[in-house]
Amino acid sequence: MNEDLAIDALTALAHKDRLSAFRLLVKAGPEGLPSGTIAEKLQIAPTRMSFHLSALERSGLLQTKRDGRKILYSLRFDQMRELLFFLMQDCCAGHPDICLPDPCSMSTDAEKGCCP
């Protein structure tokens, strides 16, 4: 991934509704979700959600697939991995283990998982 593509992706994520949709689609996996379901789960007006999903699609982070009358939005996991790699490729002077998250320092108990 080059710098311009990374900037486009990060710009698309730099909005509360788009970031929330992105995170929801990470959880949904490769199957994706219809825009109406995304809007409902995030309590966002469907027309506004469509606008935000289009911005994420233009950035290369989402893809669409028709399922009958529905359009499913799903993450382009390859692009997400490329963005993460771009951000972390020079991490910690060759010690990437330093950059890995400490699950016990996560922000909520639900995210901590098995930490004591």
Contact between residue 79 and residue 6 where contact means Cβ atoms under 8 Å apart: no
Tokens standing for 7? 């900037």
Tokens standing for 84? 């993460």
| Nearest by Cα to 79 from 62, 103, 67 | 62
Helix (H, G, I), strand (E, B) or coil at 67: strand
pLDDT in tens, the chain (116 residues): 999 999 999 999 999 999 999 999 999 999 999 999 999 999 999 999 999 999 999 999 999 999 899 999 999 999 999 999 898 887 777 776 777 666 676 665 555 444 44
Domain spans of the chain?
3-91
* 15-50: burial string, b at 16+ Cβ within 10 Å, e else: eebbebbbebbeebeeebbebebbbeebebeeeebb
Digit-coded pLDDT (tens) for 28-41 = 999 999 999 999 99
Mean pLDDT of the chain: 88
Which architecture does CATH list for 3-91? Answer: Orthogonal Bundle (1.10)
